Structure 1
Amino acid sequence: MTKIVYEVVEHDGGWAYHVEGVFSETFPSHDAARKAADRAAREQTIPGDPSVISWEDKGGHWHDEAEPGNDRPETDVEG
């Protein structure tokens, strides 16, 4: 199972959460960023409906893939 860690950090004159190289919007306080990270982490674990997704690989080739909607990651919030 995949684990995704949301890390609350100082960013752009305020606070944000950081996930796999991507920052959220900036929040005015650590508490506000932590609450947003907790919410995002919780939502990430909610199963969805089965669907077909399309994605492009680094070589520019497109792939269609069945997504069962129930293989959600484990999440955690730090900071």
Structure 2
Amino acid sequence: MTKIVYEIVPHDGGWAYKLGNVFSETFGSHAEALEAARIVMQEQQVGDEPVEISYQDEQGRWRDEYSDGGDRPEVEIDDPHQANSSL
């Protein structure tokens, strides 16, 4: 099973969550960034219909993959400013 870890970090004068080297939008407070990450974390757990997925990898190349809609990852929030949360 794939594991995704969102980190809550200071970013651009506010707070953001990030996955790898990709940042979310900037939020005005730590609490707002944490809540946004929790929403994204919960959405990661919702199954869906089979679909073709296109995404850009770390090297900037576009990739295409098939998802059967039921292969949900384990998701965690890493927040050094608060106890870790996982779903």
**How far apart, in 1, do the equivalents of 2:62 and 2:5 lie?**
29
| Aligned counterpart, 2:24 | 24
| Aligned counterpart, 1:4 | 4
**How far apart, in 2, do the equivalents of 1:54 and 1:40 lie?**
19
Q: Tell me the secondary structure at the aligned position of residue 41 of structure 2.
A: helix
Unaligned runs of 5+ in 1: none
| Aligned counterpart, 2:84 | none
Identity fraction in percent: 50
Q: CA deviation at 1:53?
A: 4.0
Q: 1:56 to 1:19 in 2, by over 3 A?
A: closer
Calculate the aligned-residue CA RMSD, in Å. Answer: 2.5
Unaligned runs of 5+ in 2: 80-87
Q: TM-score, normalised by structure 2?
A: 0.75
**How far apart, in 1, do the equivalents of 2:11 and 2:70 lie?**
33
Q: 1:27 to 1:55 in 2, by over 3 A?
A: closer
Structure 1 residues 20-47: Cα deviation after superposition (integer angstroms, max 9, x where no partner): 2100000000000000001001101111
Q: 1:53 to 1:13 in 2, by over 3 A?
A: closer
| Aligned counterpart, 1:74 | 74
